[in-house]
Amino acid sequence: MQTIRRLNQYPEDKKRLCILTAQLEREQPKLTAGYSLTPGGDKISDQTGGIAAKRWETSQEIKECTLRIEEIDIILAGFEEDEKKLIELRYFSKHNYDWWVAEQVNLSLRTYYRVRDELVAEAAVLLGLYRRDQVRA
């Protein structure tokens, strides 16, 4: 399910955003031009253009990553604290075994599965992956 993939991807997106931002800050053309007295042949090098293209690609990836993070942040903001904790423990942590998460949020395993499925369905609707009438009650 796309929603579960998006939730699982959230922590990685946050890390990736930090890395991309750092890369964008470091990608700068040299301030001085390099000249050579030896003929370069037919080869034309445009360092500034290459760096500009790389910066544009990086900035596009930053925009996409930021959007994915903001979407999940907005969804989480709409959940109650215990619901948010369930999502964070299940999809954002290393110890994401269902029985362990159910124990942490003080729910029986059966109730945990029901609540988890309802929250994932709500997230899917909010992400625009499903219409509300497509989600079973």
Q: Per the domain annotation, does 41 fall within a domain?
A: no
- Three-state SS for 136? coil
Q: What is the mean pLDDT of residues 63-70?
A: 96
Q: Which domain holds residue 78?
A: 2-29+47-134
Q: Per the domain annotation, does 42 fall within a domain?
A: no
Query: What pLDDT score was predicted for residue 96?
Result: 81
Buried b / exposed e over 35-55, threshold 16 CB at 10 Å, is: eeeeeeeeeeeeeeeeeeeee
Write down the mean pLDDT value for the chain. Answer: 86
* Residue-wise pLDDT tens digits, 67-122: 999 999 999 999 999 999 999 999 999 878 999 999 999 999 999 999 999 999 99
Q: Per the domain annotation, does 94 fall within a domain?
A: yes
**pLDDT-based confidence at 66, cuts 50/70/90?**
very high
pLDDT at 44 over 80: no
Q: Per the domain annotation, does 38 fall within a domain?
A: no
pTM: 0.76
Residue 118, CA distances (Å) to 70, 105, 122, 135 in order: 21, 15, 6, 9
Q: Residue for token digits 């390099």?
A: 34
